[in-house]
Chain A
């Protein structure tokens, strides 16, 4: 039942990976420019800073989604029958949406941050008009439409092969102990389910805000809007790492020679995650005093528990599979192991910030970007880079040159130090989302810029090298 088809990455997956690599690099440059601006090393106007911040935020969310989708599509396709047309349709919607989003930001001046929190998009105060806000929100809506198609096709293929989501999640295995689905199928099923829900909710709030944009008399309850936006956005960005981690499940065993077996705790962990991912978002609303108390409490408790089941199992299984395995180290395997570190380390500041007492003073500081840069840059993006490198090497272990080792270390140290500077800035109460920093804060931004440059240079080397491997066969053909 779980026979795996061996097939090289083709067509859509390569295009997804190539676009992800290029956009990740561009977003890193945006990040560098922002930190340099905050450190007064670049004369960027605040309105441009906020445009870059909006583009960086939505760009990273979208590209982490696309990169994660490449990983999921590629490996899920080895177990179920996926139809490539849907991956291309998703890409078409994605690119059209991106054009609208970029137009809204850089032509229309929209700069309300990627979270487009109500009522800011409708109140540009001369910086942007309602059409720019509509282009941004319409673009996000289109990306969602493409992603909905992508997940519906995943759902169809999973159900066709396994009969139902219940079987694909391995619930029968909990009873019988037999015929466990592969880890990839379990993870893909969870992501498919939570993202269909997230996209529907996203469609609702985006449409509501579009209505409000043109008919301002029809107001939205701000707290309802914030809940819906974070339910949509937080689930979506969370799911990117749950897609990307499939690379660890599928690729690492090729290096260690030890299969990634599914045990009952693994099934429990993913099923629990399915529920917790949907209920953890209130930790972003802990400062909203009007939010019902029970949601605050739920936000704190689920923040403590949400990441742990899957992360703890993946971390211990990764360490267990590496230990005395004579693992062959190359750039791919090193990036995969690094990504598990980034994911694990990145959860810690989130758990701290998820504590209500801490959140009251830390949430609007750079502590939070510290969390998600550790989690996403060293976790999710590193997984995507490992996957890109893996398909560039035609899904085989490769040599590990001195240059690659150097770039890996520069990337790991720079990315970690870059995230650490955010955390230290947060500890020093430096607010987040501010274009202009006080003189006392400049040193943090300047040192962070140095590490950001290290991230950009090393990531560029890794991505350019991988692009060569992805594009070369096409040229030869």
Chain B
């Protein structure tokens, strides 16, 4: 556990620093699909890893505000919802303050996911996924079907690839989630925890 507590934040910090390198940033943000489907998840992962360094005392304090992970997962879904809006993507590319806010909010969303996932249990998690996955599918469809470019910064082809990628990711996420119902070892403990 101690090993994870040290290794996790270290890996998270390294990942964050790599993502912040201007060349890496412009490479990822130059392509809408990489921006949404690679940079976003990596920022979430960095937030998740950084949070593993929190002490048990801090976690206990945060749990008071995050009963059954509801507040945390709600916040994560709101952040994800916001950054799927095409205008938000445009603003992040044209305004460095918004770009900074994007980094911070996605890191925080990753952090709240880490803080909430274990305590959320099957139902709250299911509700979160039942919201986020269809939302990704609808946004993916919007990107694919929109008759015009919906981001000033990206071409129609970018939009099409990002939309298709979101759809694929959402479908894959749904399959993995439902397959998890068939896997006993992890879930039984979580469900026991949820009933406490």
Per-residue interface assignment for chain A, residues 188 to 226, with 1 indicating a CB less than 8 Å from any chain B CB and 0 otherwise? 000001001101100110011001000001111100000
By the criterion CB–CB under 8 Å, are B184 and A203 in contact? no
Whether the pair A218, B145 counts as a contact (CB closer than 8 A) is yes
Q: What secondary structure prevails in chain A residues at the interface with B?
A: helix
Q: Roughly how many angstroms separate A219 CA and B188 CA in the complex, as a whole number?
A: 44
| Contact indicator A200/B174 (Cβ below 8 Å) | yes
B134–A207 touching, CB < 8 Å: yes
- The answer to whether A203 touches B134 (Cβ under 8 A) is yes
Given contacts A148-B127, A148-B130, A153-B123, contact A204 B145 (CB under 8 A): no
A212 CB to closest chain B CB, in angstroms? 9
| B126 in contact with A155 (CB, 8 Å) | yes
Taking the closest CB of chain B, its distance from the CB of A279, in whole angstroms, is: 15
Q: Any chain A CB within 8 A of the CB of B24?
A: no
Asked whether A156 and B130 contact (CB < 8 A) given A166-B184, A218-B145, A221-B145, the answer is no
Interface string of A136-151 (1 = CB under 8 A from B): 0000000000001100
B147 touches A217 (CB 8 A): yes
State in angstroms the CA–CA spacing of A153 and B138 once bound together.
26
In the complex, the answer to whether A155 meets B122 with C-beta atoms within 8 Å is: yes
Instruction: Say yes or no: is B99 at the interface (Cβ < 8 Å to chain A).
Output: no
Asked whether A164 is an interface residue with its Cβ less than 8 Å from the other chain, the reply is: yes
Task: Decide yes or no: A164 and B134 within 8 Å by CB, A152-B122, A152-B126, A156-B122 being known contacts.
Answer: no
Which A159-211 residues sit within 8 Å CB-CB of chain B? 159-160, 163-167, 193, 196-197, 199-200, 203-204, 207-208, 211
- Residue B182 contacts which of A164, A207, A218 (CB distance < 8 angstroms)? A164
How far, in angstroms, from A166 to B181 measured CA to CA in the complex?
A: 8
Interchain residue pairs with CB less than 8 A apart (24): A148-B126, A148-B127, A156-B122, A159-B122, A159-B187, A159-B191, A160-B192, A164-B181, A164-B182, A167-B184, A193-B178, A196-B126, A196-B130, A196-B178, A199-B130, A200-B130, A200-B134, A208-B138, A211-B138, A211-B142, A218-B142, A218-B146, A218-B147, A220-B141
Residues of B at the A interface (CB closer than 8 Å) are: 121-123, 126-127, 130, 133-135, 137-138, 141-142, 145-148, 174, 178, 181-184, 187-188, 191-192, 194-195
Other A-B pairs beyond A159-B181, A196-B178, A200-B174, 4, CB < 8 Å: A81-B195, A160-B192, A200-B130, A218-B142
